């Protein structure tokens, strides 16, 4: 079993829809949770960074962490065609962790 599981999609939704992307994990020691966005032919770039359980909002994006269920989500409101990308979740046990554990990535397409 992978430490982090993410539905690879692809996921296709109409413009303006609310998008929910999710990851589950098995390591209860994970405390830091990240979402990276990767456009086609580009490297991943950090989108959201959260610590422990709770919600964090940044514009149209909300990251949610439920440590009791070992489940994290990224919500995109009023989705735009420019949000079309692959979204990868990543996790670590501590702030100075040697490495991150990434999910498989979900490919998202927002249709105009």
Residues near another protein, by CB under 8 A: 6, 8, 32, 34, 41-46, 49, 88, 90, 92, 95-100, 102-105
Give me 110's structure tokens. 């927002």
- Exposure string for 64-93, b = 16+ CB within 10 A, e = fewer: bbeeeebebbbbbeebeeebbbbbbbbbbe
Residue 15: CB minimum distance to another protein, A = 26
Q: CA–CA separation, 46 vs 72, rounded Å?
A: 16
Q: Which is nearer to another protein, 50 or 79 (CB)?
A: 50
Residue 46: CB minimum distance to another protein, A = 6
Residue 17: CB minimum distance to another protein, A = 24
């Amino acid at each position: 079993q992978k430490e982090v599981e993410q539905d690879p999609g692809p996921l296709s939704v109409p413009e303006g829809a609310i998008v929910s992307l999710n990851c589950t994990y098995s390591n209860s020691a994970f405390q830091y949770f990240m979402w990276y966005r990767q456009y086609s032919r580009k490297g991943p770039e950090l989108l959201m960074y959260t610590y422990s359980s709770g919600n964090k909002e940044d514009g149209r994006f909300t990251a949610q962490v439920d440590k009791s269920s070992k489940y994290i989500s990224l919500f995109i409101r009023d989705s735009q065609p420019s949000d079309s990308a692959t979204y990868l979740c990543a996790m670590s046990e501590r702030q100075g962790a040697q490495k991150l554990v990434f999910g498989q990535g979900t490919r998202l397409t927002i249709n105009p």
